[in-house]
Amino acid sequence: MPWVDQINLRMHSIRRMVAPVGVVASVAVLVGLDSYSRRAEGSKISAKSSSQGEGIQALTALSVVGVGGVALCEGWGSRKSTKRIFKYSADDDYPYFSKWHRTLMRKHLTPKVYKQLQPLRTSNGFTINDVIACGTTCGYSVPRGMGCMAGDYESYSLFAPFFSPIIKEYHDFSPTSRHTTDLNPSHLKSVKDLDPNSEYVLSTRIRVARSIRGLPFPAASSRAARRKVESLARSCTETLKGDLQGMYMPLNDMDNDVNDDLIQRHICFDNPDEWSITARLGQDWPDARGVYINCQDLDETPDFVVWVNEEDHLRIMCLRKGGDIFAVFEKLVRGVNAMEKQMKEQGYQFLHDEHLGYVVGCPTNLGTGMRASMHVKLIKLAKLPGFIDLCNRMGLDVRGKHGEKDTRQSGIFDISNRHRLGFSEVELIQLMIDGVSYLIELEKKLEAGEEIDLEKEFNKV
């Protein structure tokens, strides 16, 4: 058996080793293999990807290699420059799924779909096996609910038999629908602060994900492409003025103490974990990753932040204490527009499509690419049966205050828009305003001693 296959087959047993050093070493081997397979690509960025038009177009010519009707399948993390090719049929190469694989990828990657897509690769060399890599690995936790990641714009058209049903189910958005974008804060019906005294709303944050047209997404990015993204991000943020002006901090130049402090303060993204490594997001870490903040002193707390080359090319966010979501949205939009204007002057633009809206790697973030969230104190309301169902009915998601991995019930919750695709930014923020206002109203009634039946409230929504 080839030694690469032996490493892949032993992934589960290696992860169960007690010694942390063993786990880190095994991950390092896998990352090293994937990095080695990319070297032949060097600094080439696909001209074909750069010249794509506004709409998603399927490839007119595909290079599919086969011998005797059997597709040639390359090893884990391989690219078309790799010479180590194995002759596996789609039946032999179909992923193993355990009872813990409960993702949409697992549901929609049927043997028939896999056989159809297995020989295909995008012009950046991304295959269906690359797409599903983050969902086929079961480590210490169940893979995230989506279980797949696009490597470039082309992935959504080339692998449409796989992506289209997933997008339809997750977003309830048909392949023929058109997404609406509205980044005008003046279109909001209500602009008041939801909680002027900050008794219930502790903080407000809005972030948007953006890809740069013509460059592969982080999961398929080469070092050269990743550095191009960072170069564009730096040049765009350098031109920001007024209350948006600040400094860019490359992760390469950060010492561990500064990095840990920024992570703890939620100013910087986390370092790679098992999921991000299997999703190909941790390659060459921390090269070409960085954070922009609109202040010059790290002891200050910024309210405008840009993450570079984490899960997306750019994650642009604005965050403040209290519940003035209009002020947060207004400042975010000013920053996004200023960066895109500068980017266009350099011959680039954010990747937007009439059908999918803003296109990014994870299908959950298609459309607005926006997550508007508030940390809200709802100690009494949260104890009632049906609290989360009520929030979901209003188009809101509920997490612990420390994010999607936080399952503790502290009485303070991260409440955000549930939808991304098929709704405009203004519509989703208005849903947040209306929904959180309603939840605060219910909490006040409970504090006053009133009884509330959430099942009846559920029927009102």
352 annotated ligand binder: no
Q: How large is the C-alpha radius of gyration of the chain?
A: 23
- The two tokens of residue 461 are 């929504």
214 annotated ligand binder: no
CB-CB contact of 340 with 176 (8 Å): no
- Rounded distance between C-alpha atoms, residue 149 and residue 128, angstroms: 10
H helix intervals, 103-250:
104-108, 111-117, 128-131, 133-136, 155-158, 160-171, 223-238
373 annotated ligand binder: yes
Q: Which H or E run contains 5?
A: helix 3-9
106 annotated ligand binder: no
- The two tokens of residue 389 are 């169902």
Q: Which residue has the tokens 């011959």?
A: 347
- The two tokens of residue 139 are 């480590």
CB-CB contact of 439 with 376 (8 Å): yes
CB-CB contact of 371 with 419 (8 Å): no
- Rounded distance between C-alpha atoms, residue 38 and residue 47, angstroms: 17
- Rounded distance between C-alpha atoms, residue 412 and residue 319, angstroms: 17
401 annotated ligand binder: yes
54 annotated ligand binder: no
375 annotated ligand binder: yes
207 annotated ligand binder: yes
78 annotated ligand binder: no
**Residues 6 or more apart in contact with residue 253 via CB below 8 angstroms:** none
198 annotated ligand binder: no
- Rounded distance between C-alpha atoms, residue 149 and residue 292, angstroms: 25
Q: DSSP E strands: which ranges in 361-408? A: 370-377, 396-400
- Give residue 289's Cα distance to chain centre: 15
Q: Give the residue among 458, 454, 345, 325 at the shortest CA–CA distance from 394.
A: 458
354 annotated ligand binder: no
CB-CB contact of 208 with 381 (8 Å): no
Catalytic (active-site) positions: 207, 311, 315, 362, 364, 371, 399, 404
Q: Is the peptide bond before 286 cis (omega within 30 degrees of 0)?
A: yes
55 annotated ligand binder: no
Known binding-site positions: 203-207, 266, 315, 371-375, 399-404
Binding residue ranges for ATP = 203-207, 266, 315, 371-375, 399-404
